[in-house]
Each structure stands twice: as structure tokens, then as C-alpha cells.
Amino acid sequence: MATNLTPALAWRRLREGNERFVNGVTSHPNQDASRRSSLVENQHPFAVIFGCSDSRLAAEIIFDVGLGDVFVVRTAGQVIDDAVLGSLEYSIGVLGVPLIVILGHDSCGAVAATKSAVETGQMPAGFIRDLVERITPSVLTALRNDETEVNGMVVEHVKQTSQRLKDSSRVISDAIESGRTAVIGLSYSLAEGRANVVSGIDEL
């Protein structure tokens, strides 16, 4: 079963799939009727991908995987809330997934909106304000580190999101400490299609 994979082997599988996608030689695995039938009773995903909701960031496509391979959680700007934490804890505690991937991307609209709000003092209306408030600490940290570009702020936000997961969830932090799972942060290039590691590779 896929859940026998170590965190390092799970990352290798994702990395190799992303490499196929970048090079235009995707194999579209596990996307046929027999795979669908085999998953009716249970699932054994080998990774959970917590990424931005951006329509250009479809996890199964950019990592060239199929049905039952990855457990996907997405919010604009990969912002953590209680539902996200519950979903990630389910993937770790119940499904036994060995790898958590935090997936940001360049030119992220949610991060750009937060950068604008920080710089102008003008907060957006409605529930977009909640997204901006949750991303603001990452933008402020980036600015303190003299990082003024959105893409650098995205990288900082991925790193902070990874750390917040560990700080917020005992289920996740215990799984990491025991070596059962690992967290890595990736920043995806919209033009190139490559998911670049920005944090956590030393945990593998």
C-alpha cells in the first residue's frame, strides 16, 4: 500500500511526477475505471497537499498523480483555519499519510492583496479581510527581512504556514517528532510548472 512509503519516498514520487509535468511527458497514472473501482471501499493517499485555491495550481495535474494518490486541501493563499487543521489531522491521524506538502505559488493574489493592505492601511471588505489578516504576519516578517516582492513574501508565507501547522496541531507535531510524517514547503512557478522546495527538506 502507498501508506508504507516513508516521507522521503513520498516526496520523491511527487518530485518525479512534477518533473514529468514540467517536461511535458505526463503519464496520467491511476485515472482509469479500474483504479476508480479499487478505491470504492477505502483510500491510501501517500501525501496531503495543502495549497492555494488558484485555478492554475491543480495538485493532481502538476504532480502527475491520479485518483486516491493525494489528499488535497485548498484555501486562497493556503490560509489555515480550524477546518483546514481538522482536514490535515484526518489525513495524518486516520489515513496515516507520511508527507504534508504546503504549496504556494508565485504571483499569489491573496499575498498581493495582503501586501497592498499592509502598505496602504486599507483592508478589503467581506471575508477577504479574514484571509488578509491571516497572511499579514508573513508579509510583515518578509518586510522586516527586506523582502519587498510578492514572490518573496509567498516563500515566507509557505515557511510560516509550515511552522504554524506544527505549533497548532498536536496530532501533526507528534507525527513529525516520531518520524511518521514530515512537512515540506514548496513554491510553484506558474510559468515553468516546477514546484521548488523552500522549507523542510532537512526533515526528510
pLDDT of residue 3: 60
Domains of the chain, residue spans: 2-105+166-203
Mean pLDDT estimate for the chain? 95
Residue 142 pLDDT exceeds 90: yes
Residue 61 pLDDT exceeds 60: yes
SS3 readout for 97-121: CCEEEEEEECCCHHHHHHHHHHHHC
Q: What is the pLDDT of residues 3-27, one digit of tens each?
A: 679 999 999 999 999 999 999 999 9
Q: Edge-to-edge strands of the sheet including 182-188?
A: 70-75, 47-52, 99-105, 182-188, 195-199
Q: What is the average pLDDT across 153-170?
A: 96
Taking the C-alpha atoms of residue 88 and residue 127, their distance in angstroms, rounded to an integer, is 22
Q: What is the average pLDDT across 96-121?
A: 96
pTM, two decimal places: 0.94
Point out which residues pair with 188 in neighbouring strands. 105, 195
Q: Lowest mean pLDDT of 5-14, 53-62, 134-143, 194-203, name the range.
A: 194-203
Q: What is the average pLDDT across 165-181?
A: 95
Q: What is the average pLDDT across 34-54?
A: 95
Q: What is the average pLDDT across 94-108?
A: 97
Q: Give the CATH superfamily of 2-105+166-203.
A: Carbonic anhydrase (3.40.1050.10)
Q: What are phi and psi of 140, to 5 degrees?
A: -65, -40
